Amino acid sequence: MEIVQQFFFIAALAVTAWYITKRVQLISRAIKLGRPENRFDHANERLKTMLLVAFGQKKMFTNWLVGLMHFVIYAGFLIINLEILEIILDGVLGTHRLFAPYITSIYPFLINTFEILAFGVLAVCVVFLCRRFVAKVSRFQPERHREMTRWPRTDAAIILIAEILLMIAFLTWNASDSVLRDRGVGHYVHLQGIVPDFVISQFLKPLFAGFSDIGLIAYERIAWWAHILGIMAFAVYVTYSKHLHIALGFPNVYFSDLQPKGEMQNMPEITKEVQLALGLPTTTAADGSQTNDNGLQPGVDSPAEVGRFGAKDVQDLKWINLMNAYSCTECGRCTAACPANITGKKLSPRKIMMDTRDRLEEIQQGWKVNGFDYKDSKSLLNDYITAEELNACTTCQACINACPININPLDIILQLRRYRVMEESQAPASWNAMFSNIENNMAPWKFSPSDRFNWAEQVNQ
């Protein structure tokens, strides 16, 4: 019987690893569709940001109660899963609580810690379910936010319920295992005096008092299998879910933008063209020739041909934009902070990220059927994100400041707007007037630069 269990366990582990590997490869390929950008500079600053924001959950504690509850789930997920190592080894080797005889001094402490966190995760997941479906927190409701369709709400419920069931399986497994030790049944007797009752599961032992030995063994095995198979299924499901941020949150924060908030990046191709046209500024290259700041020799080099100004589809965005999309938790803090959304405009920064991910997933489905050369007639702009949404953005940075893992919806919005303005000449008339004034008057307003300080003459009158 043990050999059969070992076989099924190894088979389940192999299937899980295969599915996760395939998904990771597809997601990685999808992210690499984006344009290259160097995000490997300033390693120390990036590491510090990751430790504060991702590991330390710094931005979650703007609301300390919700931040604390999220931290319980976050810490519980990280720490409880350490016990998976023992479960996996038990499953592969056919043992039971493999580590207990070898670390008797700390084993009870470890399992007690896991149980306290498991109970905390269970309680917080119940609270989060109530917040979504009973209290109906505004940012999760489809009546107010059209991107919160049936699937995003179902996805959140599946994850929360799955975590509750996993924690129940873990705690009741420990309780039934403890009762079997007390009775001295089978191989469980070998851990008598080594493994004590645990801090939470000891209160669940009366639930199993009426079970026969055979029934108790059956429940203990069912709970053990339910816990580990549930974790395997959870690990696969997460790669299709918004909870992919569990894996991508840390690298997403590490590679986040270090530039000052509000600084918009110039298009390198345009910058090079202007510098070449003006011949400024110039520096001396290593070979003694005169070059500008981009290393181009005026009158000799020419900038690379521009394929597209701005972005129309996900391939035109930067790879970090695509990682942002896969890292999005759909928590809605960005949308709740967006002044355009608050005033009833159609713009929702959360929807921008969800649309980008949906477009990537659509391309992935095409790859599965038609190969990696798959192309379709759709695009992120227009088919997913409308001009009305883009034009509503005030570039105030509120969405970036609100995001717990430094996602930048504004960067995607700006790139899509650039395409509309520079490729399709679709800027609103008021924008064109502003562009003209900036070009001619060096200010958004239509008056001569020589009259700019006329107001000062009246200050002392």
Per-residue pLDDT of the chain (461 residues; tens, 9 = 90+): 678 889 999 999 999 999 999 999 999 999 999 999 999 999 999 999 999 999 888 898 888 888 899 889 888 877 877 788 999 999 999 999 999 999 999 999 999 999 999 999 999 999 999 999 999 999 999 988 999 998 999 999 999 999 999 999 999 999 999 999 999 998 899 999 899 999 999 999 999 999 999 999 999 999 999 999 999 999 999 999 999 998 999 999 999 998 877 777 787 777 777 777 777 664 444 444 444 444 444 444 444 455 678 999 999 999 999 999 999 999 999 999 999 999 999 999 999 999 999 999 999 999 998 999 898 999 999 999 999 999 999 999 999 999 999 999 999 999 999 999 989 988 888 888 888 888 888 888 887 878 877 878 777 66
d(CA 39, CA 322): 14
Of 219, 254, 289, the position where a domain reaches its end is 254
- Identity of the residue numbered 345: K
90 and 136 belong to one structural domain: yes
How many alpha carbons fall within 13 Å on the CB side of residue 367? Answer: 15
Are both 234 and 332 inside the same structural domain?
no
Specify the DSSP element, H or E, that contains 401: helix 398-402
d(Cα 325, Cα 407) in Å, to the nearest integer? 8
228 and 87 Cβ atoms separated by less than 8 Å: yes
Residue 379 lies inside a defined structural domain of this protein: yes
Asked if 226 and 93 sit in the same domain, the reply is yes
pLDDT of residue 305: 54
Q: Yes or no: say if 180 and 216 are a contact pair by the CB < 8 Å rule.
A: yes
**Is residue 394 assigned to a domain?**
yes
User: In which region does residue 97 sit, left (phi positive, over 0), alpha (psi from -120 to 50) or beta (all else)?
Assistant: left
Shared domain check, 189 and 112: yes
Indicate whether 173 and 103 sit together in one domain: yes
Q: Taking the model in full, what pTM does it have? A: 0.86
Count of domains observed in the chain: 3
In this structure, the answer to whether residues 288 and 245 fall within a common structural domain is no
Distance CA 148, CA 186 (A): 52
If asked whether residues 170 and 209 sit together in one domain, one would say yes
Model pLDDT, residue 291: 47
For residue 169, the SS3 value is: helix
User: DSSP 3-state assignment of 47?
Assistant: helix
End-to-end CA distance of the chain: 99
CB neighbourhood size of 383 (10 A): 14
- The encoded tokens of residue 343 equal 């005033």
Q: Which of 254, 279, 294 represents a domain boundary (last residue)?
A: 254
- Asked if 116 and 182 sit in the same domain, the reply is yes
What distance in Å separates the CA atoms of residue 311 and residue 129, rounded to the nearest whole number?
A: 38
Which domain, by its residues, includes 347?
A: 306-441
Q: Quick one: pLDDT at residue 307?
A: 67
Residue 205 zone, left/alpha/beta (φ > 0; ψ -120 to 50; rest): alpha
Q: Which two tokens stand for residue 20?
A: 């996760």
DSSP string for residues in 72-123? HHHHHHHHHTTHHHHHHHHHHHT-SSTTTTT-TTTHHHHHHHHHHHHHHHHH
d(CA 460, CA 235): 71
Claim to verify: residue 242 and residue 320 sit in the same structural domain:
no
Q: Are residues 105 and 244 in the same domain?
A: yes
CA distance 77 to 251: 18
pLDDT at position 281 is 60
pLDDT for residue 128? 94
Q: Which of 413, 345, 364 is nearest to 384 (CA)?
A: 413
Residue 292 maps to a domain: yes
391 and 426 both lie in a single domain: yes
φ, ψ for residue 290, nearest 5 deg: -90, 125
> In this structure, are 182 and 87 located in the same domain?
yes
Determine the Cα–Cα distance for residues 401 and 314; give it in Å rounded to an integer: 24
CATH classification of the domain holding 338: 1.10.1060
Rounded to the nearest angstrom, the gap between the alpha carbon of residue 179 and the centroid of all alpha carbons in its chain is 41
Distance CA 447, CA 455 (A): 13
Domain membership of residue 261 (yes or no) is: no
Residue 380 in domain: yes
In-domain check, residue 454? no
Helix (H, G, I), strand (E, B) or coil at 283: strand
Kindly state the greatest CA–CA separation across the chain.
100
> Is 110 part of any domain?
yes
Residue 37 lies in a domain: no
Phi, psi at 291, each rounded to 5°: -130, 165
